[in-house]
Amino acid sequence: MLLKAELHCHIEGAALPALVTSQAEKYGADVSAFIRDGAYHWHDFSSFLAAYDAAANLFRSEEDYAALAETYLTGLANEGAIYSEFFTSPDHAERAGLSPQAYTAGLGEGIVRARAKTGIEGRMIVTGVRHFGPAAVEKAARFAATCGHPLVTGFGMAGDERSGHPRDFVRAFDIAREAGLGITVHAGEFGGADSVEAALDYFAPTRIGHGVRTVEDPDLVRRVAEEGVVLEVCPVSNVVLGVFPDYTHHPFPQLHAAGCRLTLNSDDPPHFHTSIGHEYAVASRHFDLDEAALTAVTCTALEAAFVDEETRRTLL
Ligand code: ADE
Ligand code: ZN
């Protein structure tokens, strides 16, 4: 099987509807507003974020999160993945009544269990949620910088990129960078090329989450290629959320031809009826990537991973 690696998946967004439903039974909650007939139901980006928040609220203990990470990583390993870096959100844990420390410890335990079962390696990127505001994002960065968990290796920002001005989040990224964490940020998904350019200028990330709307500005495409910024591309998410109407309009091939460094990722897999295996299959079918090109995508992900050099060598 083709070896795969994923750099962009939100752990709460990876919760399968069946698992969320069983969590709801455990806590006496009703999921009918956002899960029907065993599938997530929402109709636009805002209602997707609401469904995401509601599902996250049903994970409330360290063990809930350990099981969630173990299930996600085991599924990934079964599709040929050898590495995953997933986004964590201490804000969502706190909203569900769990401390960021217990939340991170649970997810770390899930990584250890999945590694023991399947050999897959995992790391965590703590994220702030942009539309929760600069103070919340800075608090997440401080937690990332001080938590001391050995599997926390990065900091990022997710959420609605149209919310707030980049300058308001600079301190959060400075805190994380000074602590030695890898930096990534969502941009160029619901914001255009300007949003990607601002993310590069204000946050100096080595990776951009999505970044696909870079294609709207030829100078920016050149800059991204020249600076070697890695784009965490999530093709199925982009089409399902309506960023592009279909795969023929997706800019992956154009960015690839321009020399941008691209990876393939599932974002929030069950929400978009995808998986890492499906993303690679989509890239093969719609972007004409042969096996060598898909393997090169995996290598790019491993090169750009926020992982220690010794572990990277064992993966590459
Ligand atoms: N959080 C979870 N999925 C997201 C996405 N696709 N864009 C921004 N924030 C997110
Ligand atoms: Zn994302």
CA dihedral 55→57→60→63, nearest 10 degrees, is 20
Q: Is the CB of 265 under 6 A from ligand 1?
A: no
Q: In the prediction, which pLDDT does 233 show?
A: 99
* Ligand of minimum distance to the alpha carbon of 125: 2
Please give the number of the atom of ligand 1 that sits closest to the Cα of 12. Answer: 2
Q: Which residue has the CA at smallest separation from atom 8 of ligand 1?
A: 159
Q: Which residue has the CA at smallest separation from atom 5 of ligand 1?
A: 159
Region 61-76: what's the mean pLDDT? 98
189: annotated active-site residue:
yes
Region 199-221: what's the mean pLDDT? 98
Do 69 and 86 form a contact (C-beta atoms < 8 A)? Answer: yes
Any binding-site annotation on 41? Answer: no
What is the CA(9)–ligand 1 centre distance, in A? 9
Q: In the prediction, which pLDDT does 156 show?
A: 98
Q: What are the CA-CA distances from residue 296 to residues 71, 176, 182, 184, 293 (Å)?
A: 27, 29, 22, 21, 5
Please give the number of the atom of ligand 1 that sits closest to the Cα of 158. Answer: 9
What is the CA(1)–ligand 2 centre distance, in A? 26
Do 271 and 40 form a contact (C-beta atoms < 8 A)? Answer: yes
Q: If pLDDT is split at 50, 70 and 90, which confidence band does 102 have? A: very high
pTM, entire model: 0.98
Q: In testing the pocket of ligand 1, which one of 7, 44, 49 has its CB within 8 Å of the most ligand atoms?
A: 49
Q: In the prediction, which pLDDT does 79 show?
A: 98
Q: What are the CA-CA distances from residue 308 to residues 5, 35, 129, 149, 150 (Å)?
A: 16, 39, 26, 14, 10
The string of DSSP letters for 136-204 reads HHHHHHHHHHH---TTEEEEEEES-TTSS-GGGGHHHHHHHHHTT-EEEEEESSSS-HHHHHHHHHHH-
Q: Is the CB of 91 under 6 A from ligand 1?
A: no
* Ligand of minimum distance to the alpha carbon of 237: 1
Domain ranges in the chain are 4-315
Helix (H) or strand (E) holding 36: strand 35-36
**What ipTM did this prediction achieve?**
0.97
**Residue 111: which region, alpha, beta or left (left: phi > 0; alpha: psi -120 to 50)?**
alpha
pLDDT in tens, 164-184: 999 999 999 999 999 999 999
Which residues, chain by chain, have CB under 5 Å from ion ligand 2?
A: 267
Question: Of 189, 197, 232, 279, which residue is the catalytic one?
Answer: 189
pLDDT in tens, 231-265: 999 999 999 999 999 999 999 999 999 999 999 99
Q: Is the CB of 232 under 6 A from ligand 1?
A: no
Q: Is the CB of 10 under 6 A from ligand 1?
A: yes
Region 136-160: what's the mean pLDDT? 98
Q: In the prediction, which pLDDT does 97 show?
A: 98
Any binding-site annotation on 210? Answer: no
Closest CA to 271 of 77, 65, 43, 66: 43
Do 25 and 17 form a contact (C-beta atoms < 8 A)? Answer: no
Region 22-30: what's the mean pLDDT? 98
Any binding-site annotation on 246? Answer: no
Region 56-83: what's the mean pLDDT? 98
The string of DSSP letters for 37-54 reads TTEE---SHHHHHHHHHH
Please give the number of the atom of ligand 1 that sits closest to the Cα of 130. Answer: 9
What is the CA(159)–ligand 1 centre distance, in A? 5
Q: Is the CB of 13 under 6 A from ligand 1?
A: yes
Q: In the prediction, which pLDDT does 264 show?
A: 99
Q: Which residue has the CA at smallest separation from atom 9 of ligand 1?
A: 159
CA dihedral sign, ordered 169, 171, 176, 180: positive
User: Which CATH code of 3.20.20.140, 3.30.450.20, 3.90.1170.50, 2.40.30.30 fits the domain covering 4-315?
Assistant: 3.20.20.140
The CA distance from 280 to 315, in Å, is: 19
Region 81-108: what's the mean pLDDT? 98
What is the CA(210)–ligand 1 centre distance, in A? 10
